[in-house]
Each structure stands twice: as structure tokens, then as C-alpha cells.
Amino acid sequence: MRLFVSVDVDPLSEGVAAAQDRLPDAGSLRLVDPENAHVTLAFLGEVAPDRRDALTAALTTAVDDAGVDPFTLSLGGYGVFPSREYISVVWAGVRRGGAELTRLHEAVERETTAIGFDPADHDFTPHVTLARMDDARGKAGVQRLVEDATLDIGAVEVREVRLTESTLTDDGPVYETVDRFPL
């Protein structure tokens, strides 16, 4: 099964959809389903079923060790990965709750790495993916939006971390919560 660890922001799906509506109409942009909005703490990839118990134990320890109580997460502002010159992902940033997300990410990565998962190959930047960009069509419009637009999606109370299975389909990924880890 293909797994990732996340903080879900599903109550903000209308705000995420409104942020996507402001993106330029470019054939190269593939919008993410707003109902699937989340902040990824760690992408684990394909995980064999026999590793599930060790993973659950590691995530329980990670969430406990992070020492994060329930907190408010607010989203706003546009950004892109990997750079404004070469855009592959358009995202909404985290305005409030970034320190808590970073502590959770660090604890999750420490515990999952200890049981054999690879660490992330990039710095952690808390965000919610809005769209993926397949090619340069529409790049100038995205660049202008990132530079000029203000964005306030809203806030949500975070009370748990989720282990989520992602099944890839022709219509996009389908997510299913496998486990929950309360803060």
C-alpha cells in the first residue's frame, strides 16, 4: 500500500477551491481535489503490510514525542515548487501552525527513519498542494499570481495526525485514512 502521514484540512475545502479558482486557465495545470486537502508530514511510499505494526508504533511514539497539543492551522498565500522559473507544484502556504507542523514532521521523520524508511530528500515546507503543472503553458500567469495575489483560505483546529493510503487511479488519487494519532 502507498502511504503518507498528514494533517488533513478538509473543513477548508471550499477555501481551497476558491484559491484554485484564481489560478490561470492553463491546460498544463491539474487541480488537486479540494476534498483531499492536507499538509504532508512524510511520504512513505509503498509499504508492505507486514511493516504496518512497526509503523503504527513509530507514529504513536512520534506524535507523543513531538509534544504538540491541538492547535490552529491557518492557510494563505501562494507559492510554487521547486522555483518560480521551473514550476511543478502550486501551493497554499501555512500562516499559523507552522512551528507545530515542523515539530510533528521532525518527530515523524526521526521515528520512521529509525525503522528503515528513507528521509525526505528536500527541506520541509508546510503547504497544501493546489495544483500540479505539467509543462510551461500558463507559467507566466502562475508567476504573476504568486507575486501579486493575496490569499486567505481560513483556519482549522488540528487535533490529530493521519496515516493515509493513496490509491492512484485514472481520475486522480483516492485517499483512505488507515489510522489516526490524536495530539
Handedness of CA 36, 151, 21, 84 (dihedral sign): negative
Q: Name the DSSP class of 140.
A: H
Taking residues 137-157, what's their average pLDDT? 90
Whole-angstrom distance, CA of residue 105 vs CA of residue 124: 8
pLDDT at 165 over 90: yes
Marked catalytic residue, from 19, 23, 38, 41: 38
Confidence at residue 139, expressed as pLDDT on a 0 to 100 scale: 87
pTM over 0.85: yes
pLDDT at 134 over 90: no
pLDDT at 55 over 80: yes
Q: Are 144 and 83 in contact (CB under 8 A)?
A: no
Marked catalytic residue, from 101, 108, 127, 156: 127
The answer to whether 105 is a known catalytic residue is no
Answer whether CATH 3.90.1140.10 is correct for domain 2-182. yes
| pLDDT tens profile 98-128 | 999 999 999 999 999 999 999 998 899 999 9
Nearest of 141, 9, 156 to residue 78 by alpha carbon? 141
| pLDDT tens profile 167-179 | 988 888 899 999 9
Confidence at residue 148, expressed as pLDDT on a 0 to 100 scale: 83
Q: What percent of the chain has pLDDT over 70?
A: 99
| pLDDT tens profile 4-38 | 999 999 999 999 999 999 998 777 899 999 999 99
Q: Are 127 and 43 in contact (CB under 8 A)?
A: no
β-pair partners for 73: 156
Neighbours of 63 (CB within 10 A): 22
Confidence band of 154 (pLDDT split at 50, 70, 90) = very high
Domain spans of the chain, in order of start: 2-182
Confidence at residue 99, expressed as pLDDT on a 0 to 100 scale: 97
| pLDDT tens profile 59-98 | 999 999 999 999 999 999 999 999 999 999 999 999 999 9
What's the grid cell of residue 59?
507514529
Strand residues in the chain grouped as ranges (E): 2-8, 29-31, 38-46, 71-82, 87-96, 127-133, 152-158, 160-169, 172-182
